[in-house]
Structure 1
Amino acid sequence: MNQPITLTAAQKAGPALTVIVLGAVLAILVAMPLLHLLPADNAFHVSAYTLTLVGKILCYAIVALALDLVWGYAGLLSLGHGLFFALGGYAMGMYLMRQSAGDGLPAFMSFLAWNELPWYWYGTSSFLWAMCLVVLVPGLLAFVFGFFAFRSRIKGVYFSIMTQALTFAGMLLFFRNETGFGGNNGFTDFRTILGFSISAPATRAVLFLTTVALLAGSLYLGWRLAHSKFGRVLTALRDAENRLMFCGYDPRGYKLFIWTLSAVLCGLAGALYVPQVGIINPSEMAPTQSIEAAVWVALGGRGTLIGPLLGAGIVNGMKSWFTVAFPEYWLFALGALFIVVTLYLPKGVIGLLRRRNEQ
């Protein structure tokens, strides 16, 4: 006779506690830009540096969430998500550079003695067109790449190597001055966005709140997908793709959808990253950036949605401290962190917390 399944008090309180913690974090994030608007001599004032740093980490958290959707749920380890993030950033950067240049050419084009804008820069003075590029460029690239990769049934380490090669090729392309994207220096010296000074406290506050809204929306979308039939098919695809195909499902469409959606989320994160940080260059496409994103997900706990956000916060918080105190040791610390997580925390920080709650 089957025994009824009983839940411990900790297991019953788990979801409620998660909602409470998320609500508290959201309240703090919403309060930060409001406190930034206070006078600088106020005890509760949040500095521009702090707001920018947290805003940057939130953008990275969106990338971690996007990567978790394809790696944690669909089993597709991408080592090229930095490319989609950078493409969204460059699309926004083109608009910001046109705003700074007015009726003339962007400063780097004048320096290189260009006489006119390249054809792919046309329309970038429009914010709406720039936002279309933010979504369409990484989305279309991911769709085309995924269509051929999934049709050829490329998966596992071969898929990861191909994504890494893709982002490396993109980095080499954008490093060249003749491509029209600022070469090694990229885009910087932004001044206005939608007619507002980009360095004004109110503008910074709005950009930060927009980032919080995108992160919250992405988390909700991911949660809805994960708890739907689509999410169950994804996890089945991750765990036993051959059995799923035997049941009559075609995994290619599911992979392509979640892969393209993930790329679009990265592009949106990049578009919000650029005006807050004030620069975008090809280094954001470096393979090490995408590998670091995989570390965020692994540290937090893949396939959990919340875990990658936590992992992105921990790693980038450590990076901000290490690159100031011990810059030459950061990569060693990152490597050691990945080894420790692989050996002792296979389910990440979230897995550790859940295990403690079950005890």
Structure 2
Amino acid sequence: MSTLNLPLKPSLFSRPAWIGIVVCTVILGLLPILNLIFPAGHPLSISSYTIALIGKFMCYAMAALALDLVWGYTGILSLGHGVFFALGGYAHGMYLMRAIGHDGVYQSDLPDFMVFLNWKAYPWYWWMTEHFWFAMLLVVLVPGVLAFVFGYFAFRSRIKGVYFSIITQAMTFAFMLLFFRNDTGFGGNNGFTDFKRILGFTITAPSTKAVLYLVTLAFLLGSLLLCRAIVTSKLGRVLQGVRDSESRLMFIGYNPLWFKLFVWTLSAVLCGIAGALYVPQVGIINPSEMSPANSIEMVIWAAVGGRGSLLGPIIGAFTVNGLKSWFTAAFPDLWLYALGLIFILVTLFLPQGILGLIKKLKRQEKSDPSKEAA
């Protein structure tokens, strides 16, 4: 009888990995506290710019982690996760726009962009978005429902491989064109911006930014633990079976459709939450977040860090975006060439990414005969 070629006991994070996770969490958690306690110029002071930048990187890391769940462990390469990220951001962004109240330029009940475009009332799909809890519900439901419907028809039709990647890219491009239109109620080219309050607190206040940062850190850590629980369970072994040999999985009695649909929808929801956390920290959401290039960048983050490892995509997101921040300041016209070169070099020489390289070096160190003799 055929069996799944999977380990009987899935590997967990090693003890050094757990120590690294705890240390990084503590260090990241201390940064906003240092920003609040110490004034600018103090040796221990952390600038507000740094806090906002790292907060953005954590949102990207959460999106990369969500992508790794479907690509690294299930073998589904998505080039459209940018649309889920942006939809979560738009759902939260409309709440933030409505929280502006009469403090906009036109001092109207409607956001400034709607007044400018001669809207007379909110469209039906923005109903009740003045309530934070309802906006958060949309953050989860909108990407989740879209992913479920899209995934159901795609997976039921046995679309896979490069064909699935192409239609996900077409999906995000179609949504980008839709959101760029001025008559759809999404702000057109400019999107949503000029936020002033969140839950009654001034959004630009250092204390508010610190709370948003810490909430993002908590969600990133929670997402990591959730994904780890999934991939180390029996469900995770089935997902890896889908990745490694879907036909063999079907032969022994599993229906891959519902497993793929579950992990695809969960990944979209996590990506939407990452987008919702991104918007108040960056201060804007517009259709460019749905650009196919953004979705491809998510793939690069996962590949650079090491897909199929959970920690790798987080490392990749921080590494690539850190390089991007430096590169775009030093050589703004060359970043896209550098990004393409990074992806090519990683594909050719580091197929397992940064994390794979670290593991390889550790194995070589353990098997070094000179050290054993010493």
Does the alignment reach a TM-score above 0.5? yes
1:61 corresponds to: 61
The range that moved more, 98-107 or 295-304, is: 98-107
The range that moved more, 319-328 or 63-72, is: 319-328
Q: Name segments (4+ residues, structure 1) moved above 6 Å.
A: none
Q: Tell me which amino acid in the other structure corresponds to 1:173.
A: L
1:186 corresponds to: 191
Task: Please report how far the alpha carbon of residue 101 of structure 1 lies from its aligned counterpart in structure 2 after TM superposition.
Answer: 3.0
The residue matched to 1:328 in structure 2 has which SS? coil
The range that moved more, 92-101 or 102-111, is: 102-111
1:229 corresponds to: 234
Q: Matches of 1:117 and 1:226 in 2, distance apart? A: 42
The range that moved more, 42-51 or 285-294, is: 42-51
Correspondences of 1:1-359 after superposition (within 5 Å): 15-38=14-37, 39-102=39-102, 104-359=109-364
Q: Matches of 1:127 and 1:225 in 2, distance apart? A: 29
The range that moved more, 110-119 or 148-157, is: 110-119
Q: Percent identity?
A: 64
Q: Is the 8 A contact 1:62 1:215 kept in 2?
A: yes
2:8 corresponds to: none
- Size of the aligned set, in residue pairs, is 347
Q: Matches of 2:28 and 2:259 in 1, distance apart? A: 34
TM-score, with length taken from structure 1: 0.95
Alignment RMSD, CA only?
Answer: 1.1
2:368 corresponds to: none
The residue matched to 2:72 in structure 1 has which SS? helix
Task: Please report how far the alpha carbon of residue 327 of structure 1 lies from its aligned counterpart in structure 2 after TM superposition.
Answer: 1.1
The residue matched to 1:73 in structure 2 has which SS? coil
Q: Matches of 2:79 and 2:249 in 1, distance apart? A: 25
Q: Matches of 2:25 and 2:125 in 1, distance apart? A: 39
1:8 corresponds to: none
Q: 1:88 to 1:16 in 2, by over 3 A?
A: same
TM-score, with length taken from structure 2: 0.91
Q: Matches of 1:116 and 1:234 in 2, distance apart? A: 46
Query: Could you report, residue by residue, the CA deviation over 1:166-192 in whole angstroms, capped at 9, with x for unpaired residues?
Result: 000000000000000110000100000
Q: Is the 8 A contact 1:63 1:293 kept in 2?
A: yes
Q: Is the 8 A contact 1:72 1:303 kept in 2?
A: yes
Q: Tell me which amino acid in the other structure corresponds to 1:64.
A: A
Q: Is the 8 A contact 1:101 1:107 kept in 2?
A: no
Query: Could you report, residue by residue, the CA deviation over 1:237-256 in whole angstroms, capped at 9, with x for unpaired residues?
Result: 10000000001000000000
Query: Could you report, residue by residue, the CA deviation over 1:103-122 in whole angstroms, capped at 9, with x for unpaired residues?
Result: 61001011112111111111
Can you give the 5+ residue segments of structure 1 that lack an aligned partner in the other structure? 1-11
Task: Please report how far the alpha carbon of residue 42 of structure 1 lies from its aligned counterpart in structure 2 after TM superposition.
Answer: 3.0
1:9 corresponds to: none
The residue matched to 2:333 in structure 1 has which SS? helix
Q: Tell me which amino acid in the other structure corresponds to 1:163.
A: T
Q: Matches of 1:138 and 1:84 in 2, distance apart? A: 5
The residue matched to 1:37 in structure 2 has which SS? helix
Task: Please report how far the alpha carbon of residue 41 of structure 1 lies from its aligned counterpart in structure 2 after TM superposition.
Answer: 4.1
The residue matched to 1:240 in structure 2 has which SS? helix
Q: Matches of 1:341 and 1:105 in 2, distance apart? A: 48
Q: Matches of 2:127 and 2:242 in 1, distance apart? A: 42
Q: Is the 8 A contact 1:225 1:231 kept in 2?
A: yes
Q: Matches of 2:176 and 2:298 in 1, distance apart? A: 17
The residue matched to 1:327 in structure 2 has which SS? coil
Q: Tell me which amino acid in the other structure corresponds to 1:251.
A: P
The residue matched to 1:100 in structure 2 has which SS? coil
Q: Matches of 1:97 and 1:275 in 2, distance apart? A: 11
Q: Matches of 2:128 and 2:328 in 1, distance apart? A: 38
Q: Is the 8 A contact 1:66 1:266 kept in 2?
A: yes
Can you give the 5+ residue segments of structure 2 that lack an aligned partner in the other structure? 1-10, 103-107, 365-374
Q: Tell me which amino acid in the other structure corresponds to 2:122.
A: L
Q: Matches of 2:81 and 2:308 in 1, distance apart? A: 17
Task: Please report how far the alpha carbon of residue 16 of structure 1 lies from its aligned counterpart in structure 2 after TM superposition.
Answer: 1.4
Q: Matches of 1:42 and 1:132 in 2, distance apart? A: 41
Task: Please report how far the alpha carbon of residue 68 of structure 1 lies from its aligned counterpart in structure 2 after TM superposition.
Answer: 0.2
